[in-house]
Amino acid sequence: MRAARVVDGAHHEVLVVGGGQAGLSVSHHLVAAGVDHLVVERDSVAHEWRDGRWDAFTLVTPNWHCRLPGYPYDGPDPDGFMRRDEVYEWVRRYADTFDAPVAEGVTVTGLAPRPGGGFVVTTTAGTVTANAVTAAVGGYHVPVVPSWAAALPEHVVQVQSYDYRSADELPPGPVLVVGTGQSGTQIAEDLLLAGREVHLAAGRAPRVARRYRGKDCMTWLAEMGVYDVPVAARGLAKRESTNHYVTGRDGGRDLDLRDFARRGMRLYGRATGVVDDGSGRALTFSPTLARDLDHADSVAESIKDDIDRWIETQGIDAPPEERYVPVWRPGAELERLDLAGLAAVVWSVGFRADWTWLGDLAPAVLDPEGHPRHVRGLSPVPGLSFVGLPWLHTWGSGRFLGIAQDTGHVAAAVRDWRAGGSWDGPAAHTLTEPAPASSSAAAG
């Protein structure tokens, strides 16, 4: 990596906003093509892996999925799962394998059209111009909390999943985790393993078995081509899908909320608000737990069905395996939690995007729901592109597995456009909602 800086008034062929794995991957392609560019990172390269994960975090995808352009995982455990600090160091090392020009500690605050073509980019270190801009900042920017969170008692410490580090950093006493996506379930287990009293408000997130019929389920899905299915074949609604929960901790295993309950965790349906019923303030829940547990199990089993069909059609020798049997079922669902004794709440209900830095270009680039409008990363505004978004093109987008393909496509499109080619954004191509696909492996 080559330390660079923003020079006020300078011009670049391409400006890449974001110095994580996606931004670095774009830079790799641009360096290889000899294209002048600058990567601008508001903190330090790959800092999200270090600053936005808890101490015991591990990848949920096998290490062999980690393959950036010119930089596949070559460690000793391809079927294992790197821990937080290992991922951070792995991405940092990637930046040092080529001459990526990165200006760290610089935030992009505004983007505007440049008279005569291109863009004016305002940063905390000065204003520059660029013929093309690639946003590589992901799609998870601002943590979401319900409006009624403000009604929780002052003694209850509220922590975002992004800021959670370990059970020891929370005050003594019971902890409520709200949300059962990948972060919520793993944090709930982390607290349970630390011996804490844990309450978990479940949502409708699906789950997936860690292994089935002798192989990691994500390896099966990769071999089946599921991660290569384009969003156009699934429908744009897939952008809102919650990823299946599972863990890579201790070599990888299932995460089963029913097993959590059997081990002493208190499970609830969706958290709905705070009430004061005369006996003190309490958190209320909808009676959705049984339904959502069944849904999570059904998705996991449907993935196994797809794997079974693949094994049969390909003639693969894989020993059969008994199917999952629920180890616990809720009786009368718990719909109230007294807040008097609760010590902390960990919010894990998702993030919303913040594209305010797009400035006056936002109306042309964002759809009514606030999602970037694009075709394979190319926006309606020629020269402005996106990488690193979930379902940018396929289910593999936004994961290490699909970054090389996505960034290669965008970098080549920018290069060819600057050489006089067309800009094939949504002004020329419009994604439509297709009929539902038949495979269930990507359901959820």
Taking a C-beta distance cutoff of 8 angstroms, is the pair 190, 167 a contact?
A: yes
What are the beta bridge partners of residue 346? 159, 177
Task: Name which residue leads in pLDDT, 427 or 151.
Answer: 151
Task: Answer whether residue 406 shows pLDDT above 50.
Answer: yes
Mean pLDDT score, 414-424: 96
The pairs formed by 188-191 with CB atoms below 8 angstroms and a separation of 24 or more are: 188/260, 188/265, 189/247, 189/249, 189/255, 189/260, 190/54, 190/56, 190/166, 191/167, 191/346
pLDDT value of residue 428 = 53
pLDDT value of residue 235 = 63
Question: What is the C-alpha to C-alpha distance for residues 444 and 442, in angstroms, rounded to an integer?
Answer: 7
Question: What is the C-alpha to C-alpha distance for residues 21 and 403, in angstroms, rounded to an integer?
Answer: 8
Task: Answer whether residue 146 shows pLDDT above 50.
Answer: yes
Mean pLDDT score, 184-210: 97
Taking a C-beta distance cutoff of 8 angstroms, is the pair 164, 51 a contact?
A: no
Please, where in the chain does CATH 3.50.50.60 lie?
Answer: 2-141+353-418, 144-208+244-349
What are the beta bridge partners of residue 40? 17, 103
Question: What is the C-alpha to C-alpha distance for residues 81 and 168, in angstroms, rounded to an integer?
Answer: 24
Question: What is the C-alpha to C-alpha distance for residues 80 and 86, in angstroms, rounded to an integer?
Answer: 12
Please report which confidence band the pLDDT of residue 206 belongs to, taking 50, 70 and 90 as the band edges. very high
**At a CB cut-off of 8 Å and minimum separation 6, what does 275 contact?**
281, 282, 284
Name which of 174-188, 191-205, 277-291 the model is least confident about.
277-291
pLDDT value of residue 136 = 97
Mean pLDDT score, 17-21: 97
Cβ count within 10 A of residue 370: 12
pLDDT value of residue 300 = 98
* Per-residue pLDDT reduced to its tens digit, 266-314: 999 999 999 997 778 999 999 999 999 999 999 999 999 999 999 999 9
Question: What is the C-alpha to C-alpha distance for residues 430 and 231, in angstroms, rounded to an integer?
Answer: 12
Task: Name which residue leads in pLDDT, 193 or 435.
Answer: 193
pLDDT value of residue 278 = 78
Residue percentage of the chain with pLDDT more than 70: 95
What are the beta bridge partners of residue 71? 68
* Per-residue pLDDT reduced to its tens digit, 357-386: 999 999 999 999 899 999 999 999 999 999
Task: Answer whether residue 116 shows pLDDT above 50.
Answer: yes
Cβ count within 10 A of residue 183: 25
pLDDT value of residue 437 = 38
Burial 64-89 (b: 16+ CB within 10 A, else e): bbbbbbebebeeeeeebbbbbebbbe
Question: What is the C-alpha to C-alpha distance for residues 80 and 156, in angstroms, rounded to an integer?
Answer: 37
Burial 223-243 (b: 16+ CB within 10 A, else e): ebebbebebbebbbebbebbb
pLDDT value of residue 243 = 86
Mean pLDDT score, 171-180: 98
Mean pLDDT score, 85-103: 96
Q: Please, is 364 exposed, middle or buried when counting C-beta atoms within 10 Å of its C-beta (0-12, 13-18, 19+)?
A: middle
Please report which confidence band the pLDDT of residue 242 belongs to, taking 50, 70 and 90 as the band edges. confident
pLDDT value of residue 440 = 40
- pTM, to two decimals: 0.93
pLDDT value of residue 192 = 98
Task: Answer whether residue 150 shows pLDDT above 90.
Answer: yes
Q: Please, is 283 exposed, middle or buried when counting C-beta atoms within 10 Å of its C-beta (0-12, 13-18, 19+)?
A: buried
Closest CA to 423 of 91, 186, 132, 207: 132
* Per-residue pLDDT reduced to its tens digit, 306-355: 999 999 999 999 999 999 999 999 999 989 999 999 999 999 998 888 99
Q: What does residue 187 show for φ and ψ, rounded to 5 degrees?
A: -70, -40
pLDDT value of residue 346 = 98
Superfamily of domain 2-141+353-418: FAD/NAD(P)-binding domain (3.50.50.60)
Query: Would you say domain 144-208+244-349 falls under CATH 3.40.50.1820?
Result: no
Question: What is the C-alpha to C-alpha distance for residues 63 and 195, in angstroms, rounded to an integer?
Answer: 29
Please report which confidence band the pLDDT of residue 441 belongs to, taking 50, 70 and 90 as the band edges. very low
pLDDT value of residue 434 = 37
pLDDT value of residue 351 = 87
Q: What does residue 242 show for φ and ψ, rounded to 5 degrees?
A: -90, 135
The overall average pLDDT reported for the chain is 93
Mean pLDDT score, 25-50: 97
Query: What are the DSSP calls for 304-372, one per residue?
Result: HHHHHHHHHHHT------PPP--S---SSPP-EEESTT--EEEE-S-EE---GGGGGGHHHHB-TTSPB
What are the beta bridge partners of residue 37? 14
The Cα-based distances of 171 to 56, 159, 385 in angstroms read 19, 11, 44
The Cα-based distances of 88 to 54, 390, 398 in angstroms read 13, 20, 16
